[in-house]
Structure 1
Amino acid sequence: MDAKDMGNDLEKILLTEEQLQNKLDEMARDIDEVYGSEDILVIGVLRGAVMVVADLVRKIHAPVTMDWMAVSSYGSGTKSSGVVRILKDLDTDVMERDVLIIEDIIDSGLTLSWLKSNLESRGARSVRIATMLRKPEAAKVEIDVDFLGFDIPNEFVVGYGLDYAEDYRHLPFIGTLAPHVYGG
């Protein structure tokens, strides 16, 4: 699917596929500088981060092991509920591991703040954060992001892993939906 397939559901494209891939190249270089040849346990946050994780880890030169968590503070709507819960836990022990959490977007920061504390309490040697997107205006807690793609306005976005009602994740770009799609 591309922009023309969306008809009048797409309001605008915020970030093109090319912009996303160029930023991932830059993020991978930064990650390689920090980790060198150290083993990294990459934890992808399901489901939104699947695209970012898949593309980013292929660009990293350090040794990478991957695992997945589903941790959510979202309901079925477009706003964070503030309630954090684990939907799928790790299969890998993080004890004495260098962990890199990869997220698609940081909105309120509540989920990621909780997740980072949780992994530190499990004995991770280090916990760093990489995210493709961050909405500074939506932040409810301060999150130190080690590897950042883009700061974006506080708008509801879809594509490149981000969804609305489980649709639009497969778009190769990041855009906003027309208000008629979500009743906005």
Structure 2
Amino acid sequence: MNRSLRADAQANQERLLEVAAHAFARDGADTSLKAIAAEAGVGIGTLYRRFPAREDLIEATYRNETALLCESASLLLAEHPPVAAFQAWMERFVDYMLTKRGMADALPKILASREGLRAHSREVLSGAVDELLHAGVVTGALRPDISSADVLMALGGVTLITGHEDERQLASRLISLLLDGLAANREAPISPAPSAL
């Protein structure tokens, strides 16, 4: 019986975090917690027992979305060739960042106040990209001179532009361009243009 209750509680929490991620992406960090609870099929009391403050729910959602994104790298590599897996993962990264953008007003304060949260996120995201890059390099599909930091910076730019233009399809087109730049047949990076200054 206790085991069943624990399973139900875990399922409720997972459902709450899933619904919260969609709600924050759609309506922002100030979205109704009562509406999140209702959509998740739980009472508002259940939500507050798990997450006493709005910031607790935002942090838990952010942690959960980051974990799901990073765990998906291995799952995608098990199902697809490395380049296709990387492309699918980048698409998921854009959706992850759109969720994060929905929490933009509250998240910086949370990241600053919860010790180690920002560093942990960077570490696990870099690890996921490293895994995808390594798989591509081993098969000869991707260049060996690319760092996870560069890929994450490029993806950050893609999501920033996409968010500003409010055009999700633009992200997919830019991801395709980015993958072209990572391809193994582009062995040497193009030299930067000389400064006009």
* TM-score under structure 1 length normalisation: 0.25
Larger Rg: 2
RCO greater where, 1 or 2, for CA within 8 Å and sep 6 or more? 1
Relative to its length, the structure with more strand (as a share) is 1
More helix by share: 2
